[in-house]
Amino acid sequence: MKAHVKGVHLKIKTVICTEDGCTRKFTSKQHMQSHVSAVHHGVKNIVCTEEGCSQRFSIPQNMATHIKAVHRGIQDMMCTEDGCTQKFFRKEHMQKHVNTIHLKTKDVACEHKGCLQLFSDAGNMRKHVKFVHLKVKDVPCTQEGCAQMFSGGGNMRHHVKAVH
């Protein structure tokens, strides 16, 4: 019962991923093992049960969410902020929306040494590291015959408007 309250209600994450370089924390050893299997080892044994769909998943909950969102089009998570009518497929997407749009929370620090930039979520921070610090250019120009590569779709669109 204590473990249930700690993990489910208080969301206290004390179990650290066992993979080198990964700092993710989990509420239980089982959740950490599922993470390692899916994220670090790429194991996705569960196939979507909808006809004609071959999407694979690491856990049944992800398949259920996929079916609800992709095949049924159900958005049943409403924004919790007064006056906002935004709907979402997943609770995590709604929480991200509240944090970034309504609360304007920026509590994820850049992992690159010496950079003090803060972000609303880890995804935005990873994009920042990829394009700003690692200078990855993996977006090709959409115009035929142009070999230019860019560090994001916005940069490529700016190029197309300015040059082509």
Interval 52-84: pLDDT, tens? 999 999 889 889 989 998 999 998 889 999 999
The tokens describing 33, both together, are 């093992």
The angle at the Cα of 24, spanning 14 to 81, to the nearest 5 degrees, equals 90
pTM over 0.85: no
Greatest alpha-carbon span in the chain: 64
Instruction: Say if residue 101 is in the same domain as residue 135.
Output: no
Pairing of strands 108-109, 87-88: unpaired
Query: Quick one: 124 and 101 in the same domain?
Result: no
Task: Give yes or no for a contact between 103 and 120, defined as CB atoms under 8 angstroms apart.
Answer: no
Which segments of the chain does DSSP mark as H helices, in order? 2-4, 29-35, 60-66, 91-97, 122-128, 153-163
Residue 158 host element (H or E) = helix 153-163
Distances (CA, A) of 104 to 43, 101, 120, 125, 136: 35, 6, 7, 15, 28
Q: What's the rounded Cα separation, in Å, for the pair 134 and 127?
A: 10
Residue 47 placed within a domain: no
Is 68 a domain residue? Answer: no
Measured in degrees and rounded to the nearest 5, phi and psi for residue 88 equal: -140, 155
Residue 47 backbone phi and psi in degrees, to 5: -105, 140
Give the model's pLDDT for residue 34: 86
Q: Is residue 146 part of a domain?
A: yes
Q: Residue 8: what pLDDT?
A: 67
Residues 127 and 158 in one domain: yes
Q: What is the pLDDT along the chain (164 residues), one digit of tens a residue?
A: 677 766 667 778 889 999 999 989 998 899 899 899 988 998 999 999 999 999 999 889 889 989 998 999 998 889 999 999 999 988 888 988 998 899 999 999 998 899 999 998 888 899 899 989 999 998 899 999 999 999 878 889 999 999 99
In total, how many domains does the chain have?
A: 3
**Helix boundaries (H) for 44-143:** 60-66, 91-97, 122-128
Residue 145 tokens read as: 């015959």
**50 domain-assigned:** no
Containing domain of residue 145, as a range?
119-163
d(CA 164, CA 161): 6
In a domain, 142, yes or no: yes
* 2 and 24 share one domain: yes
